[in-house]
């Protein structure tokens, strides 16, 4: 018992020493904060989090009320989903993709700020709260091997791994692969994006058999949902291989 007390005390002192030498900093601007992997009040205040009401399918946010003050009901579909339902079943995003959220994502994705993964994953955890209860596995949108070697990490993989720890869902980074290196989708329209990523993803059959993809409910993780072309291409490959349901959770989404 005495050894346990001394062990706990040593752990507390060790953590206090670390905080003194390496204080917690805001994941956005870097100022010292009270909590690790958190944001200061200034950084928090400029982010636009997506909340209800939103499209029950793709998660597109609606205005909170109509012009006459009537609150919109739950369970509505947006115009795009009414015209054509997406390949995936549901999509949820934590933030509106704007100048502020773009800075966070670019720092994480291209600035080697892998320390931001836990805080981004916490926001995604909340955004996908209606998805996690019936999910069976978590997969990241994969990078092509050459791009992965250049970047040294897959940002979607880090987010998926963090969400796996938070939800307890299994994480399979090698089930879905990008078999063809595609050009950047920046600046392309919907049709062009779909054409570029068409057939770019495939399933590793041996892994699929081992993890039980047939009949599974899959959650696909990515950083930004723009037109949905990439996650749709992934969802199409997963469903052809036997997945029963494919949901999508991202850090942010474009809202036009």
What tens-digit pLDDT sequence spans the chain (256 residues)?
Answer: 555 566 566 555 545 554 555 567 666 676 666 666 667 787 778 899 998 889 999 999 986 545 555 666 667 899 999 999 999 999 999 999 998 888 888 888 877 788 888 889 999 999 999 999 999 999 999 998 887 777 788 999 999 999 999 999 999 999 999 988 776 777 777 788 888 788 889 999 999 999 999 999 999 999 999 999 999 999 999 999 999 999 999 999 999 8
**Vertex 46 angle, CA 122 and 29, to 5°:** 75
Residue 152: per-residue pLDDT: 82
Counting beta carbons within 10 angstroms of the beta carbon of residue 176, is it exposed (0 to 12), middle (13 to 18) or buried (19 or more)? buried
Please, which residues bridge with residue 92 across strands?
Answer: 249
Closest to 131 (Cα-Cα) out of 250, 255, 254, 253:
250
Residue 245: per-residue pLDDT: 98
* Helices within the chain (DSSP H only): 2-21, 41-45, 79-83, 99-110, 117-127, 145-151, 155-167, 190-197, 205-211, 229-240
Rounded to an integer, what distance in angstroms lies between the CA atom of residue 251 and that of residue 67? Answer: 30
Residue 115: per-residue pLDDT: 83
Are 216 and 243 spatial neighbours (Cβ–Cβ below 8 Å)? yes
Are 142 and 109 spatial neighbours (Cβ–Cβ below 8 Å)? no
Residue 64: per-residue pLDDT: 52
Residue 6: per-residue pLDDT: 61
Rounded to an integer, what distance in angstroms lies between the CA atom of residue 55 and that of residue 133? Answer: 19
Residue 14: per-residue pLDDT: 47
Please give the backbone phi and psi of residue 95, each rounded to the nearest 5 degrees, phi first.
-130, 155
Please give the backbone phi and psi of residue 115, each rounded to the nearest 5 degrees, phi first.
-65, -15
**Exposure string over 16-25, b if 16+ CB within 10 A, otherwise e:** eeeeeeeeeb
Secondary structure class of 171 (helix, strand, coil):
strand
Rounded to an integer, what distance in angstroms lies between the CA atom of residue 155 and that of residue 114? Answer: 8
Q: Structural domains in the chain?
A: 1-45 (no CATH), 48-253 (3.40.50.2020)
Instruction: List, as one string, the DSSP characters of 35-82.
Output: STTB--HHHHHT--B--SSB-TTT-PBPPSB-TTSPBPPSSPPPHHHH
Cβ atoms < 10 Å from Cβ of 11: 10
């Amino acid at each position: 018992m005495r050894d346990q007390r001394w062990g706990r005390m040593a752990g507390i002192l060790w953590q206090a020493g670390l905080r003194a030498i390496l204080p917690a900093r805001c994941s956005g601007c870097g100022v010292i904060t009270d909590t690790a992997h958190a944001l200061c009040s200034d950084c928090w205040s400029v982010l636009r989090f997506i909340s209800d009401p939103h499209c029950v399918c793709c998660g597109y946010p609606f205005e909170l009320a109509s012009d006459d003050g009537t609150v919109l009901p739950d369970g509505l579909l947006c115009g795009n989903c009414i015209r054509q339902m997406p390949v995936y079943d549901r999509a949820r995003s934590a933030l509106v993709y704007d100048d502020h959220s773009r800075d966070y994502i670019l720092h994480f994705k291209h600035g080697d700020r892998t320390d931001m993964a836990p805080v981004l994953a916490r926001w995604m955890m909340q955004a996908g709260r209606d998805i996690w209860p019936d999910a069976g596995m978590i997969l990241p949108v994969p990078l092509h091997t050459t791009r992965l070697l250049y970047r040294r990490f897959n940002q979607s993989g880090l987010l998926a791994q963090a969400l796996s720890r938070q939800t307890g869902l299994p994480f399979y980074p090698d089930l879905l692969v990008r078999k063809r290196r595609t050009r950047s989708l920046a600046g392309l329209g919907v049709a062009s994006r779909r054409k570029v990523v068409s057939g770019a993803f495939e399933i590793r059959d041996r892994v699929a058999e081992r993890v039980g993809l047939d009949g599974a409910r899959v959650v696909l993780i990515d950083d930004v949902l723009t037109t949905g072309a990439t996650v749709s291409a992934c969802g199409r490959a997963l469903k052809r291989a036997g997945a029963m349901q494919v949901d999508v959770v991202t850090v942010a989404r474009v809202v036009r």
